[in-house]
Chain A
Amino acid sequence: DAMVIQNPRYQVTQFGKPVTLSCSQTLNHNVMYWYQQKSSQAPKLLFHYYDKDFNNEADTPDNFQSRRPNTSFCFLDIRSPGLGDAAMYLCATSRGGISYEQYFGPGTRLTVT
């Protein structure tokens, strides 16, 4: 089945130790998104790629970076995780254009110790 895959599902990292979360898709969608979701809160968009064009949200901390080496893969890099970065990180995709529906992966739960 075509889908959005996130690895790992659970990630534990130490305070200040860089961590990378990965997302892949078999939908061949143009747009890939990264969201941060904290408990009982709405998913918060961090950034997205429309093809190779990177779009950063104004309030996304510099600590968060992203890479999209090809259509299928997108990575979220957290350079120096703080305790406040512990959250669920969701990857989503969409075709873009006039099709606005987003398809979500299962998420990676990040714990910072």
Chain B
Amino acid sequence: AQSVSQHNHHVILSEAASLELGCNYSYGGTVNLFWYVQYPGQHLQLLLKYFSGDPLVKGIKGFEAEFIKSKFSFNLRKPSVQWSDTAEYFCAVNARGFGNEKLTFGTGTRLTIIP
């Protein structure tokens, strides 16, 4: 079965700092990869996704992520964070051809942006 690791549990940054949140997965086959965000008091929302093609994907609100197959990684980046980016970020993986419709989530990274 697949698994997802997010090593940063809580990240604190000042506004305008650059952000990189780590995500590694374990699964030997083809995967679809996602980053979801949960703003305080709100529901989980899709930030970006990778299915195939260009390994650098761009999402909403200036976020991007790069799929590096050799490293089993899908790290989330943003060049300059804002106070409104304070939220919980979840990486998720879906293993193609095996329970296609199921996602496995990482434990999440809480991001706090200091004004």
Contact = CB atoms under 8 A, between A and B. Distances in A.
Contacts of A90: 43-44
Interface residues of A, number: 24
B73 to A, nearest CB: 18
B98 to A, nearest CB: 12
Nearest to B105: A42
Interface string A61-99: 000000000000000000000000000001010101110
A94 B101 contact: yes
Interface size class of B (residues with CB under 8 A): 20 to 34
A13 interface: no
A48 B102 contact: yes
Interface of B: 4, 9, 32, 34, 36, 42-46, 49, 51, 90, 94, 99-103, 105-108, 110
15 contacts: A4-B43, A31-B101, A40-B9, A40-B107, A41-B108, A42-B90, A42-B105, A42-B106, A48-B101, A96-B100, A100-B32, A100-B49, A100-B100, A104-B43, A106-B43
